[in-house]
């Protein structure tokens, strides 16, 4: 049996008095205007990033920086540290073997998530989008990162670990 329309407004409409015309109607012109503004905002932000990169190129690390006493980092372990000028840059120091050290920037080259060394697979993982890097060279092994991890040279001298810009291989002096 068909329900008879009493002509009366349902009670839920009285409880939620939304003017449906105002809530749902967006004209084509308004939508096009919104898209135009959104595109403009994206273009401006991209332009800002490019100008900033050109005006303030990444600083090269000057000199040698003490990181830690070598005996504080067991083989297979990773240590997070920061160095830099005005903006501190996070790095990871990895002790792959007794005399084999690596230091990489900790920011993933995809969208700058923090990477970490996984001893169980001997690789560097970016957990954000399943990105993987070689723990030996920093090269991309898998996932969306477009470039290898920036690497510092590691120098071990008299039981102390230092890093500096330079050759990729670490040296024991
Ligand atoms: S941010 Fe590292 S894979 Fe996306």
Q: Would the CB of 138 count as within 6 Å of ligand 1?
A: no
Q: Would the CB of 113 count as within 6 Å of ligand 1?
A: yes
Q: How many angstroms does the Cα of residue 11 sit away from the middle of ligand 1?
A: 51
Together in a domain, 149 and 86: yes
Together in a domain, 116 and 137: yes
State both tokens at 125: 């993982």
Q: How many angstroms does the Cα of residue 114 sit away from the middle of ligand 1?
A: 8
**Is 60 part of any domain?**
no
Together in a domain, 145 and 100: yes
Q: Which atom of ligand 1 is nearest to the CA of 113?
A: 1
Beta bridge partners of 34: none
Percent of the chain with pLDDT over 70: 77
- The alpha carbon torsion through 70, 72, 86, 170 (nearest 10 deg) reads 30
Together in a domain, 73 and 42: no
37: burial class by Cβ within 10 Å (0-12, 13-18, 19+)? exposed
**Is 85 part of any domain?**
yes
- Other C-beta atoms closer than 10 Å to the C-beta of 165 total 14
Q: How many angstroms does the Cα of residue 156 sit away from the middle of ligand 1?
A: 31
Domain that holds residue 149: 65-170
Q: Would the CB of 116 count as within 6 Å of ligand 1?
A: no
pLDDT tens per residue across span 109-127: 999 999 999 999 999 999 9
Together in a domain, 102 and 150: yes
Together in a domain, 98 and 28: no
Together in a domain, 113 and 143: yes
Together in a domain, 104 and 138: yes
Model confidence band, residue 49 (pLDDT cutoffs 50, 70, 90): low
Give the pLDDT confidence score for residue 35 in this predicted structure. Answer: 87
**Is 6 part of any domain?**
no
pLDDT tens per residue across span 6-46: 567 777 777 777 666 555 677 888 888 888 888 888 778 76
**Is 3 part of any domain?**
no
Together in a domain, 148 and 80: yes
Q: Say if pTM beats, i.e. exceeds, 0.75.
A: no
Give the pLDDT confidence score for residue 102 in this predicted structure. Answer: 97
More confident residue, 131 or 4: 131
- Which CATH number do you get for residue 94? 2.102.10.10
Q: How many angstroms does the Cα of residue 77 sit away from the middle of ligand 1?
A: 22
**Is 4 part of any domain?**
no
Count of structural domains, the chain? 2
**Is 131 part of any domain?**
yes
Give the pLDDT confidence score for residue 167 in this predicted structure. Answer: 61
pLDDT at 128 over 60: yes
Q: How many angstroms does the Cα of residue 148 sit away from the middle of ligand 1?
A: 12
pLDDT at 85 over 80: no
More confident residue, 5 or 71: 71
Together in a domain, 51 and 101: no
Together in a domain, 81 and 42: no
Together in a domain, 82 and 131: yes
More confident residue, 80 or 9: 80
């Amino acid at each position: 049996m068909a329900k008879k329309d009493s002509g009366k407004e349902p009670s839920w409409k009285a409880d939620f008095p939304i003017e449906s015309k105002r809530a749902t109607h967006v004209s084509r012109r308004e939508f096009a205007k919104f898209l135009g503004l959104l595109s403009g905002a994206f273009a401006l932000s991209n332009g800002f990033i490019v100008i900033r990169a050109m005006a303030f190129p990444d600083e090269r690390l000057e000199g040698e920086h003490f990181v830690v006493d070598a005996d504080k980092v067991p083989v297979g372990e990773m240590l997070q540290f920061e160095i830099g000028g005005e903006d501190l840059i996070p790095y990871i120091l990895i002790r792959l073997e007794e005399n084999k050290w690596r230091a990489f920037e900790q920011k993933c080259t995809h969208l700058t998530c923090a990477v970490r060394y996984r001893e169980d697979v001997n690789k560097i993982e970016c957990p954000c989008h399943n990105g993987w890097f070689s723990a030996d060279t920093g090269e991309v092994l898998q996932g969306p990162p477009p470039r290898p991890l920036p690497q510092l040279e590691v120098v071990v001298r008299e039981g102390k670990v230092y890093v500096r810009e330079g050759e990729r291989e670490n040296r024991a002096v």
